[in-house]
Structure 1
């Protein structure tokens, strides 16, 4: 028989922890099939979506009720993705990914220079897109409020290599004190090289640093990212030569 004086007190009703906020992705494309496919795939990954069929409609909505991230097609009627980004950047730092075609490299370069966070060429893997979205959102959250996003002890320290300074917590890069705007993928590749200056990293090693385990990309994709990295740094320093190529082996960073 249980002694009522020793019976455990009834458990107090504790408030349930708040549910995590659902992140919202805005999709801007004049192709309804792409909008539908992307929406279904992103809903399956736990995101909410808003869809817009043209840039003019999207611009007003993105400024009045910003999502967490937007994905733009470049080629659209009324207002294309480049014009939309230009108008958006005048008033907002909303993270943006461009969808491009393989023959749109000049537009990709212009979009990145105007402030896009990344681009993905069509046709693309849904897994690759989701991996890029999650990486950008993580870095965006840290950049907005690093002190609240993680304890100070958990934040990665800035990396200084000669004239290069990398701040992973804020996704900021400078060369000789001048800012260089990089996509998430470019940042991760550069970080992998700069953390071990002088050590040659193969394409496979750089792919491991820049992409999640379940994403496959052709190893020549790394070559394209290296070309863009060099081009961006040479825009602020025409003498930039810190990324070396060892043909047949890979790339290394020289901080001399």
Structure 2
């Protein structure tokens, strides 16, 4: 990770943004502090960061709406850092495209580790490959879909690109490079998200649901990514090099 990696910290409390900026700068990041959604959007247009740390509890603003706007217009890492610890908020945060969700109070060392993990997953090339039974090709075909691992793109059967978040791509990549194998939630979280699962972590279930809505003809009757009760998920179609 180059020392110039640019992060943006959005929080309405200046002491929090200053604390994070100082600590992150000590780990080699260039950090911009912003205190409103409008200020963040102006920064994105002028000097877009590689990753945004977003607080949801902004006075008079909807943090989820800001997250959606980021996902609609920019490809960057997104880590929600918030005092909202409710499971529903976490699920919504992941649904709108966050790559990770960290609740306050948090350990600064853990936050830096999570930021670095997201940035590693964003790297288009040179990242450590997922361990699989065989060395994956760069372009893989399954059920007439094509996953371009090097370019981090998914093409539908008509050849059109389907936009995936960083987390969705990494999850699909893990499934496609382990076809026909039942993969547990712990395995998927470790390999696709770079961290261990907590006892109530439903991150993988949320992202599987999002993936199904994008690639299944009928998300309620999935034929590509199937659930195995009590065990995890499995990619059903044959995978071959395109």
Q: CA deviation at 1:159?
A: 2.1
- 2:130 maps to none
Unmatched segments (≥5 aa) in structure 1 = 1-19
CA distance in 2, matches of 1:96, 1:194: 24
Taking a change above 3 Å as real, the CA distance of residues 206 and 128 of structure 1, as seen in their structure-2 partners, is farther
- 1:15 maps to none
Taking a change above 3 Å as real, the CA distance of residues 86 and 209 of structure 1, as seen in their structure-2 partners, is closer
Question: TM-score if structure 2 supplies the norm length?
Answer: 0.71
- Aligned pairs for 1:1-256 (under 5 A) are 20-85=2-67, 92-99=74-81, 101=84, 102=86, 103-105=88-90, 107-108=92-93, 111-112=96-97, 118-123=99-104, 126=108, 129-138=111-120, 140=122, 142=124, 157-177=138-158, 179-212=161-194, 215-218=195-198, 220-221=200-201, 223-235=202-214, 237-240=216-219, 241=222, 242-255=224-237
Q: How many equivalent residue pairs?
A: 221
Taking a change above 3 Å as real, the CA distance of residues 110 and 139 of structure 1, as seen in their structure-2 partners, is closer
- 1:10 maps to none
Q: CA deviation at 1:56?
A: 1.9
Unmatched segments (≥5 aa) in structure 2 = 128-135
Question: SS in structure 1 opposite 2:233?
Answer: strand
Please give the root-mean-square deviation of Cα atoms over the aligned residues, in Å.
3.4
Task: Identify, as 1 or 2, the structure richer in helix.
Answer: 1
The answer on whether the counterparts of 1:139 and 1:170 sit within 8 Å (CA) in structure 2 is: no
The answer on whether the counterparts of 1:173 and 1:179 sit within 8 Å (CA) in structure 2 is: yes
CA distance in 1, matches of 2:107, 2:139: 32
